[in-house]
Amino acid sequence: MKEKQTLIGSIVRTPQFQRTRDAVLNKLKIPVHAKRFAQALTGGVEGGVITTLPEEHLPYVKHNLHQRNLQQAAYQAAKDRIKIQGQQTRTMYRLKDDPEGTLTWYPNIEQNDKYEPVEIPLTAKDLATKNYRKFTGNSPTEAHWQGTNTSLYGTPNELEMNLGHARIEEDAKGGVRIKDTWKVDAKVNQGDADYKPWISSSQPDLVEGGWLAARLYDTANALGTLENISQDIYVPPETWQKIKGKTLSHEDQIQKASKHPVTGRSYKRQQEIKKIKPSNR
């Protein structure tokens, strides 16, 4: 997204600058998601499109795509069931002397004379959620109901913060295309407050980076160097079919939660660094 035409904006979009910048970023070995952020702030990427993804990320992509497909199958089966059998309901209970009260349920509640049964209509999403949890042991992902995007949240930070929700399509030959646009959204949730450049403590779509990420974003906007990055990655059948889906182990999840998603430092270490006086750094 080009905010304005500026001299520095033109310079950072030249192949010469972008090749040199990427060489430096590769030399520093910074995480993929941090690299994308740096590239977006400095004119995007040469050619305008990224066509590769680290091989170690593909097993996580395959697992999450499989989960999306299972959820979509459960959703379609639920819609078919309602179409054939008619409206499905669930029995809940509420206090007889409080008709506007909260609906509830617990084992043997029907034997309690204080409660009366109430039939609650079930939507296809309700039925699909129940079946998906029963057969996978997982809770459904909101983004997967529509089937257009695959959520990559819950994967390693480098993948989660690089692609987030990506459009992943399987072709007839058995290959997969992964498409996404790395951009900074003005709001992530409807309840997000309006972002005020140079004033807000964080930008809603860059909240992990805190104040620093927000100010770098403001600077890029002001200089006219901000650019969206398209990602269009094709994994051929011979590669995709050999990949085995993978999830984060329990230990990996603990390790992920204990480290800052951007810096990679442990939160304990982050606090220790903050305690060091500037004169001693």
Q: Check whether 175 has a pLDDT greater than 70.
A: yes
Domain assignment of residue 76, given as a range: 70-136
| 255 located within any domain | yes
The count of domains in the chain is 2
Query: pLDDT tens digits for 94-152?
Result: 999 998 889 998 989 999 999 999 999 999 999 999 999 998 888 999 889 887 899 99
**Which of 87, 105, 136 is a domain's end point?**
136
| 263 located within any domain | yes
| 128 located within any domain | yes
| 237 located within any domain | no
This prediction has a pTM of 0.83
Over residues 260-273, mean pLDDT: 66
**Which of 78, 109, 136 is a domain's end point?**
136
| 83 located within any domain | yes
**Interstrand relation of 176-182 and 229-235 (parallel, antiparallel or unpaired):** antiparallel
**Which of 136, 158, 178 is a domain's end point?**
136
